[in-house]
Each structure stands twice: as structure tokens, then as C-alpha cells.
Amino acid sequence: MAQASTIDEVVTNGLCSGCGACESIAGRDKLRMGLSPEGFMRPRLAGHLDRETEARALAACTGRGLPPPVFGPGPVQRMFGRIPRITRGHARDPDTRFRAATGGVLTALATFLVESGRVEGVLQIGVSPKDPFRNEPRLNRTRSDILASAASRYGPAAPLKAIGALLDEALRFAVVGKPCDIAALRKMAATDPRIDRQVPYMLAMFCGGCPNIDSTHRIVRSLGEEPEDVAEFRYRGHGWPGPTYVRTHKGGEHRQSYDQTWFSGMHYELMFRCKICVDGLGEHADVVAGDCWVMEDGKPSHREAGDGWNINLGRTLRGSKLLEDASAAGYLHEEPFSVAELVAMHQDHALKKRSVFWRLVGLALTGRPRPGYPGHRVVRAGLLEASPREAWAAFSGVLVRLFGRRNRESAISAPSDYDTITANDPDKITEEDITCP
């Protein structure tokens, strides 16, 4: 078995990325995104799903594979693809830079796109006003709304479930998402020409994987609080990398460092799909931004370093020109940076690239479905770049997961904690501002 042949096979084999494209394509009356019993964002049956509709949804599904990367000019960097423009920088607006998870570059670009009139809004993820742990897609049209969606949200989110409604409204908008969200959007564009006309800019952040909602709840409980008592929760931001912050309904506050949250030995359950991800640095996006860590003794340091800095990758000519124009307009500050510095700073992404081939071998030998990655240099990275130790760790590790059924998830007919879609207009947040399903 090479690829999953149904949406149910995608989900039950742990291949779903939770992007929401299938809901947008099939319609909310047939598929609806919500939190699964495993705590991930997954499609659930809401009606009859006919074969033709399912085939259209599968054509966009990154659980079945990624499209070839969207290449700009220049040589291919063997681990990270083509990078026509690379700089380090930050938002010039101090408030944006402070509140963002890193240097605020994606927030600044989103603001520039709206205020310059290049788009009518930016589709991005923000925190739900009803639940401080939930993420929801928003169409942000103003600087204040974009800033409200700044900073990382390390949890389930389905930004693409809103795409169909926005296209139907004939809106011109940009999209900010994880690399897999942007890859799915590129796949959707192959069969829906409106995307190329109406979505001129696709922006992504560096991504190390998406944990389930229970991982966030464990962070809260480690601080001595219960999730239902929390009024505000921030993973990062308000500094760089910024503390994890919890405020309860009774006014209690907790803060702990980035390393205390993510490197203290606490258990985080990542999607299995993240374990076999080949693209954490957004080879399908126009612009990608990530942490430009302080280097100490040849390794990236996560200590609090004051004002944040981003690495900015212009993946396409359009993306490179966007960075240039936003800098010229005073929204960004940029400085020279090199691919060699990127490689040294983000060796974790290079390791994952080298390991994917051997994990896919494990899936193949056990007869499990697996995604296809044309043009992503997977075989070369695995056979020519991975050390014997890395290859064995990846291969044996995936076998342990598979035989332990740790990739298995509930079928799409299982009950789901349904999410909602909201949108921002210049004045307020209501569900009526846009005709989302």
C-alpha cells in the first residue's frame, strides 16, 4: 500500500495534518473539523460523503503527499531547498516585535499587505475568545486584529477550513500557516484556479511539529492549575523567546522560561504525521520566518535575549520582492544572513530531513500507507546524508511506534468536539462578518 485511498485511512493511520482543507472542499454538511479523542484537529463525518467529493478532498490532502516545492531561482540547498533571498531581521514597530514569538516579521508582513491594499485581509490563526487553549482561523483586516493573532500557538488548528467560503466571497487575501497548511493550499490551487487569483501571498513559519491539546493542559497542570481555571494562556511572546504565561480567572499568574516548558522532560504528544514530515521550513511558501537564535558554543541558546530576531526566507520571487518592499516601506529591518548560518542554527530540521527516508522505509516494509514527497530530496538525504546511527534510530523508532499502534487514531465517524469559525471585521468579531460554513 503506497498512499491512503480514503480520508478515513488518512486519519486512522495518523497521516492527517489537521489543516481543514477537506472540510472546505467537501462542505461542512459532509465533513467538519473538530478535536478528536486524541486531542488533534481532525475531520469528522457530518453527513454522507460521496466518492466524487472524497476524491476531490483527497487530491488536496497532505496525508497522501506533498506537491513538488515552489522553487524560485538559485541553487538547491540539499537540506532546505532553494532560497533566493535570506536575511535576518525584525519588525520595526516595537510593540509588534515585543508581542511576537520572535522578531514579528510575519506580523509585520501581514500588516504591510493589508495597509498597502495588496490584500483585503489575512487568514491566520488566533486564540478563541471562548477558550484560551483553542485556536481558530480569522480573517484579519486591520493592524490591531493582526497583532491580536501574533505569537506562536502550539496546538491544533485548521486554518484551511475557511478557504472555500473566502474564495466564494471573491476576497483577495493572504494566508499565514504551518508549512503543511501552505502545501495543502498549493495542492488545492491545482484544481481551483481561484486560489492563484485571490491568494497572492502564502506565508509560513518554521515548524517543529504540532502537539495535541492535552500537551497544553499538562503545561498548565505542571504549574499547579487546572485548565478550566485559566483565563489567559500564552506559549511565547512578550520578549524573546518569551515566557509561557498563565493567568487564572482569580487573578493568579505563572511564568516559566522556554526551556522549562519545552525541554524539562515533560511529555508532549506530537502528531504521527509530524514524525514523517519532510518540510519544516516551508518550501511551498512565498516567505518563511523562524527564530534566529543566539548561538553559544556553536549551539542555539533559548535564554531570554531581549528583542527578537527572525530568519527570513524568500522562497519565491514574489516572496523575495515582498520582503524587499516591506523593508523599503519601513515595516521591516533586515540584515545580511547566510545559508551556512541557517544550517548551523537549525540542525534539528536537517536531522529530520535525513531521517524521513528511513521512517518511510519502516512504513513501506510493514505495509502501511505513506505520503509521497516528489522533489523534496528525501532519498538523497536518507542514503547520502544520514549517518548509520541516525538511520537506525529513525527506522527502529518508527517500527516501535507502528507495532505499538501509536500512530493509530479514531475513525472519522467517531464523536468530535466541534470547533467554530469566526472572522474579524474592522470593529468586532462576529460569525456573521463572513459567510463561513
Residue appearing with cell numbers 522562497: 315
424: left (phi over 0), alpha (psi -120 to 50) or beta: beta
Low-confidence ranges of the chain (pLDDT < 50): 420-437
- Cα distance between residue 209 and residue 58, in whole Å: 22
The DSSP letter of residue 38 is: T
Residues 227 and 189 in one domain: no
Q: How many beta carbons lie within 10 A of that of residue 38, not counting itself?
A: 19
φ, ψ at 344 (rounded to 5°): -65, -35
Q: Report the distance separating Cα 358 and Cα 121, nearest Å.
A: 41
**Which amino acid makes up residue 21?**
A
Domain count for the chain, please give it: 2
Residue 43: beta bridge partners? 33
- CA distance from start to end of the chain: 35
Other C-beta atoms within 10 Å of 367: how many?
8
Residues 1 and 117 grouped into a single domain: yes
Considering the domain architecture, whether residues 317 and 329 belong to the same structural domain is answered as yes
pLDDT score, position 419: 55
Cβ–Cβ under 8 Å, residues 93 and 282: no
| Same domain, yes or no: 284 and 428 | yes
Residue 385 to residue 141: CA distance in whole angstroms:
45
- Domain co-membership, 427 together with 397: yes
The one-letter code for the residue type at 245 is Y
**92 CB burial (10 A radius; 0-12, 13-18, 19+):** middle
| 45, 83: one domain | yes
Among 201, 230, 262, the domain-final residue is 262
pLDDT of residue 417: 84
- 252 and 378, same structural domain? no
Q: Find cell 500557516 and name the residue.
A: 177
Q: ∠ CA 226-43-280 to the nearest 5 degrees? A: 80
Domain co-membership, 284 together with 320: yes
The verdict on 217 and 142 lying in the same domain is no
**DSSP 8-state class, residue 416:** -
**Mean pLDDT for the chain?**
93
Strands 173-177 and 202-205: parallel
Query: 359 is written with which cell numbers?
Result: 521512517
Among 231, 262, 293, the domain boundary falls at 262
> 198 and 137: one domain?
yes
What residues form DSSP beta bridges with 91? 332
- Give yes or no: residues 238 and 287 share one domain: no
Q: Does residue 169 share a domain with residue 47?
A: yes
Among residues 262, 277, 297, the one where a domain terminates is: 262
Domain that holds residue 412: 1-212+269-437
Q: What angle do CA 369, 373, 379 make, to 5 degrees?
A: 100
Q: What is the sign, positive or negative, of the torsion defined by CA atoms of 270, 371, 136, 104?
A: positive
> Can you spell out the DSSP letters for 138-161?
EEE-SHHHHHHT-S---S---GGG
